[in-house]
């Protein structure tokens, strides 16, 4: 997988991945991160990348030509996609992350100011993606979220494939609670089942906890995920306990 990031702040992305499991993987041959700065594709003395909006309105907009030339400057692999990070995009979900991980190359365009000229989006962008319904200062943090979450899905990046499988959302549910030493913390012990060494009971407990947490925190996820027979039975028991 090759990540290309179109950004006015290339050092920001390099800094974000200087450490950690994804940072180490990005040094390998099968996972690369390249940044390209639209400012390098300007021709005026001030290297202008933004301008005021036609029709008025506060703030500045990123101009289409520098962005377009930055994208055009990139070598394109078969199966590459140009993604613009913006609040107007489709939500980034684990399902979408897994789809993106199938690509050979992701070109991530980071907006600044009030956004970018719509014609750049119409002519160059395959897909707009949002990391959430809030506004951040620049698309770079959103690009970092996409890079990290997609890279974790690429075999070999995260040492323990099982740890990715058990990640929250991997099967559409939230994660069960986890505990480690010490056995007692501020008077609270670890749930007995986890110290029982009975792996089947531990798995059942974790599955029940994941369902209960998902039902309490994110019932919307339950409508979308395909529950197995055992999970549906556990959820039915849960709802009966709550007299629902």
Ligand X SMILES: Nc1nonc1C(=O)NC1CCNCC1
Supply the residues annotated as catalytic.
Answer: 87, 114, 152, 167
Considering only the C-alpha atoms of the chain, give the largest distance between any 2 of them, rounded to a whole number of Å. Answer: 70
Q: In sequence order, which ranges of the chain are alpha helices (DSSP H)?
A: 10-16, 20-25, 64-72, 94-100, 118-124, 139-151, 161-165, 192-195, 199-217, 219-224, 229-241
Q: How far is the CB of 125 from ligand X (least distance, A)?
A: 13
Nearest residue (CB) to ligand X, 113 versus 170? 113
Nearest residue (CB) to ligand X, 115 versus 209? 115
One residue of 3, 37, 112, 215 binding ligand X per CB under 6 A:
112
Nearest residue (CB) to ligand X, 86 versus 149? 86
Q: Which residues contact 140 (CB under 8 A, 6 or more apart)?
A: 5, 7, 9, 12, 13, 16, 110
One residue of 6, 16, 26, 85 binding ligand X per CB under 6 A:
85
User: Whose structure tokens read 């365009």?
Assistant: 109
Q: How far is the CB of 234 from ligand X (least distance, A)?
A: 34
91 binds ligand X (CB under 6 A): no
Segment 126-145, which members bind ligand X (CB under 6 A)? 130-132, 134-139, 142
Nearest residue (CB) to ligand X, 66 versus 111? 111
82 binds ligand X (CB under 6 A): no
Q: Give the contact letters, 157-196, x = binds to ligand X (CB under 6 A), - = no.
A: ----------------------------------------
115 binds ligand X (CB under 6 A): yes
Task: Count residues near ligand X (CB under 6 A).
Answer: 16
Q: Are the C-beta atoms of 83 and 127 separated by less than 8 Å?
A: yes
Q: Give the closest residue to 111 by CA, choosing from 93, 95, 96, 125.
A: 125
Q: How many CB atoms lie within 10 A of CB 33?
A: 23
Strand order through the sheet with 127-130: 32-36, 2-6, 105-110, 80-91, 127-130
Q: Are the C-beta atoms of 23 and 12 separated by less than 8 Å?
A: no
Q: How far is the CB of 39 from ligand X (least distance, A)?
A: 16
2 binds ligand X (CB under 6 A): no
Q: How far is the CB of 172 from ligand X (least distance, A)?
A: 22
Binding residues vs ligand X (CB under 6 A): 85-87, 111-112, 115, 130-132, 134-139, 142
């Amino acid at each position: 997988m090759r990540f290309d990031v179109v950004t006015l702040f290339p050092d920001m992305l390099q800094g974000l991945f200087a450490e950690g499991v994804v940072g180490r993987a990005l040094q390998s041959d099968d996972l690369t991160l390249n940044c390209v700065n639209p400012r390098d594709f300007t021709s005026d003395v001030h290297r202008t990348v933004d301008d005021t909006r036609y029709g008025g309105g506060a703030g500045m907009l990123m101009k289409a030509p520098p962005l377009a030339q930055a994208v055009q400057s990139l070598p394109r692999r078969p199966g590459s996609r140009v993604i613009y990070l913006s609040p107007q995009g489709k939500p980034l979900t684990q399902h979408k992350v897994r789809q993106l991980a199938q690509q050979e190359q992701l070109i991530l365009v980071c907006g600044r100011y009030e956004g970018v000229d719509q014609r750049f989006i119409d002519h160059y962008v395959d897909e707009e993606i949002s990391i959430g319904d809030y506004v951040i200062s620049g698309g770079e943090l959103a690009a970092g979220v996409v890079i990290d979450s997609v890279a974790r899905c690429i075999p070999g990046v995260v040492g323990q494939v099982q740890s990715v499988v058990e990640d929250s959302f991997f099967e559409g549910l939230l994660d069960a609670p986890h505990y480690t030493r010490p056995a007692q913390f501020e008077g609270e012990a670890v749930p007995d089942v986890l110290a029982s060494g009975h792996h089947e009971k531990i798995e059942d407990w974790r599955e029940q906890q994941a369902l209960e947490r998902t039902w309490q925190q994110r019932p919307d996820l339950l409508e979308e995920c395909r529950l197995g027979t055992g999970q549906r039975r556990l959820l039915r028991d849960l709802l009966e306990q709550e007299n629902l």
